[in-house]
Structure 1
Amino acid sequence: MTVATPGGLGFPKAEQAVRITRTRTIKGKTSRETAYLTISLPAGQARPVDLGAWARAEWQIENRVHYVRDVTLREDAHQARTGNGPAVFATLRNTSIGYHRVNGATNIAEATREASQRPHDLITAVTTGKPTVNRPNGTMQ
Structure 2
Amino acid sequence: MKSFKGRAVTPGNITAEALVSHGGLNTLASFQKALQFGDKKATCGDQNNEDLYGKQMAGKALCLPRTIGSTTGGLVLYCACSMKRQPACMLFSEPVDSLAGAGAILADVWLDDVTMPVVDSLGEEFLEYVKDGMSVTVKENGVVEVEGSRDIPSR
Report the TM range for the smaller structure's normalisation: under 0.3
Q: Which has the higher contact order (CA 8 A, sep 6+)?
A: 2
- Identify the structure with the greater helix proportion: 1
Higher strand share: 2
Structure possessing the higher radius of gyration over alpha carbons: 1
